[in-house]
Amino acid sequence: MAELRCSHKMHGILNDSGILDIKCDSAFCGHEPGVVVIHQFSTVTGELLGTKRYKAIPTSKQNGRRVANA
């Protein structure tokens, strides 16, 4: 598994099975405060394999950085 990152954020995860997971921030796909949307694509065909929605972990700002609430 490889994380696809720039110096500021993670853009996606490439799984060993040839599936690319990308976090989506589009409201059309179901993104809203408190919801994380992940699209899964085949790296062979480029086909959208599926979309998953998860409840986001609550975070708060502390000293200018985001941290998970304990």
Residue 8: the pLDDT is 87
pLDDT score at 64? 56
Predicted pLDDT at 1: 84
> What separation in angstroms does the CA of 13 have from each of 2, 16, 51, 60, 70?
6, 10, 14, 25, 26
Q: pLDDT tens per residue, the chain (70 residues)? A: 899 899 988 888 998 888 999 999 888 998 899 999 999 999 999 999 999 999 988 766 655 555 555 4
